[in-house]
Amino acid sequence: MKKFLFLLITICTAQSYAQDSTLIKSKVANAITELRDFVLLPNDANNADDIDTNLYWLSKKFTERGFNSSILETEGLPLFFAALPIDDNKPTILFYMHFDGQSVDISKWDQKNPYEVVLKSKEGDGWKTESFDALNDDINYEWRLFGRSTSDDKGPIIMFLNAIDILQKEQKTLPFNIKVILDSEEEKSSASLPKAVRVYRDLLKADYLIINDGPVHSSGKPTIVYGCRGITTLSITTYGPLRPQHSGHYGNYAPNPGMQLAHLLSSLKDTDGRVLVNGFYDGIELDEATMAVLKSVPDNANEINTNLAIANPEKVGSFYQESLQYPSLNIRGLGSGWIGKNARTIVPAEATAELDIRLVPESDGNRLKSLVKEHIKNLGYHVMSTVPTREERMKFDKIVTIMEGNITDAFRTDLTNPFGNALVKTMESKFGEKPVQIRIMGGTVPISPFINELKIPAFIVPMVNPDNNQHSPNENLKIGQIAYGIQLFHAILHSTAVPE
Ligand SMILES: [Zn+2]
């Protein structure tokens, strides 16, 4: 019986694959038309009117597909929410995407209007504009659509809608309820999102969260990401004479704040880049299974090093993915006196280092900041959180001001999460190879607080090409990625096994 069932499923799958390419192509064509229409609406989150027009467009498109939609007011700009009718016996997937985009500097784009999608094909190292009519005969998956938010993040919304069309045409009963939350302020750090999730907790209630934002792995292969690092910052200032002094008169006499800061900073890390602050890496353990997943990511160390033009990487981890599993301590800016043509022969009055610390779930931001402060105290510094007065400067030999920045927490879903495993299986059977599994990505997604607030397993499933010029001029989306995204949304909703 089981064998028969298996055979039946295989035949059905084979049939649906046979329909696939024509059906998918027709949906890709439709997606391109819809994306052109959607991109035409400017979506700068600094402009509330922009967001309103986009909300109206979204309401229309989701309603056409049978969704109940609502606009959720927040302390900032409104969010868009949509859901298909809920069946209480099924688990719910909540999809998160965003429809706002980075603002544009028209002068830097190779097209007149960044909101009017331009079709281009590759020509040598550059791009050649093509007529959209050329797509009527056949759709070239290598060609690209150029325009703001084609990739980040309107493209994935359109892929989602067109996958829904196919599911509705097939009249399939889905194993999941579907909810969608579309952010209008992602490019502005989604400041009102964590509070909104508390206010709309019941509406957003779900079993799993899938985020469709950002690009696939640089290899271009199907990718699933289980988390992202958090971030916090420190600003460290050391002091010399009250005002900059002549280095001839006071060199050898007035203490130099740049030197002091250099000693301080060099005590934080060894020459291989490992943090020397006590307890900084506490709690991080990478077992064999985790290491195997990290090693399975097809990063090319030579390519990375060539891109960066570096001889050797630091040695926090023994390879790129391993290095991302730890919190980092980075000097993001450094300043004292003047440099270059403006350099002056002075002993400067102060020196400042701006640090950022990327966090992982094991490393609480407040704890790491205290450890760094403790380390600096142990060097003999009088640590302050304000600028010292003349009296204080005269009282303490070594004095430092440390200002602390906000904390955005990291998030990470367990690699063994059953729904994650089911997603991996879905992707593997759809695309014929295991997806690239990224345990934690290096950068910080501003929606981490939202994810941590929902307390459900979250996965980032990116849909777009890695070289999409996200946030920059000439943002683009490879047409093949539209086909990929439509098929992947379809497969996730239709063939992912519901975990026990
Ligand atoms: Zn984005």
Q: Cα(373)–Cα(423) distance, rounded to whole angstroms?
A: 43
Amino acid at 154: K
Distance 230 CA to ligand 1 centre (A): 16
The structure tokens listed for 390 are: 């003349």
How confident is the model at residue 471, as a pLDDT? 87
Please report, to the nearest 10 degrees, the dihedral formed by the alpha carbons of residues 449, 451, 453, 456 taken in order: -160
Distance 299 CA to ligand 1 centre (A): 22
Distance 267 CA to ligand 1 centre (A): 37
Q: What is the pTM for the complete model shown?
A: 0.91
Distance 338 CA to ligand 1 centre (A): 37
Distance 155 CA to ligand 1 centre (A): 10
Residue environment code for 434-470, b if the CB has 16+ CB neighbours within 10 A, otherwise e? ebbbbbbbeebbbbbbbbbbbebbbbbbbbbbbebeb
Residue 37: asked if its preceding bond is cis (omega within 30°), the reply is no
Tens digit of each residue's pLDDT, the chain (500 residues) = 444 444 444 444 444 444 568 899 999 999 999 999 999 999 998 999 999 999 999 999 999 999 999 999 999 999 999 999 999 999 999 999 999 999 999 999 999 999 999 999 999 999 999 999 999 989 999 999 999 999 999 999 999 999 999 999 999 899 999 999 999 999 888 889 989 999 999 999 999 999 999 999 999 999 999 999 999 999 999 999 999 999 999 999 999 999 999 999 999 999 999 999 999 999 999 999 999 999 999 999 999 999 999 999 999 999 999 999 999 999 999 999 999 999 999 999 999 999 999 999 999 999 999 999 999 999 999 999 999 999 999 999 999 999 999 999 999 999 999 999 999 999 999 999 999 999 999 988 888 888 888 999 999 999 999 999 988 999 999 999 999 999 999 999 999 999 88
3-state secondary structure 150-182: CCCCHHHHHHHHHHHHHHHHHCCCCCCEEEEEE
Distance 101 CA to ligand 1 centre (A): 8
First and final C-alpha spacing in the chain:
22
Distance 358 CA to ligand 1 centre (A): 19
Distance 187 CA to ligand 1 centre (A): 7
The structure tokens listed for 29 are: 């064509």
Element housing 353 (H / E)? strand 350-359
Distance 98 CA to ligand 1 centre (A): 7
Distance 152 CA to ligand 1 centre (A): 5
Distance 97 CA to ligand 1 centre (A): 8
- Identify any residues that bridge with 71 across adjacent strands, giving them in sequence order: 80
Q: Cα(94)–Cα(71) distance, rounded to whole angstroms?
A: 16
Residue with structure tokens 């059977």?
Answer: 429
How confident is the model at residue 17, as a pLDDT? 44
Distance 102 CA to ligand 1 centre (A): 9
Distance 399 CA to ligand 1 centre (A): 42
Distance 409 CA to ligand 1 centre (A): 18
Distance 149 CA to ligand 1 centre (A): 8
Distance 159 CA to ligand 1 centre (A): 15
CA angle 60, 61, 64 (to 5 degrees): 85
**CA–centroid distance for 485 within its chain:** 17
Distance 304 CA to ligand 1 centre (A): 23
Distance 291 CA to ligand 1 centre (A): 29
Distance 147 CA to ligand 1 centre (A): 14
Distance 38 CA to ligand 1 centre (A): 16
Distance 424 CA to ligand 1 centre (A): 22
Alpha helix stretches (DSSP H) within 331-468:
365-378, 390-395, 418-431, 448-454
Distance 467 CA to ligand 1 centre (A): 14
Distance 100 CA to ligand 1 centre (A): 8
- In sequence order, which residues have a C-beta less than 8 Å from that of residue 295 and are 6 or more positions away? 319, 321
Distance 138 CA to ligand 1 centre (A): 30
How confident is the model at residue 330, as a pLDDT? 97
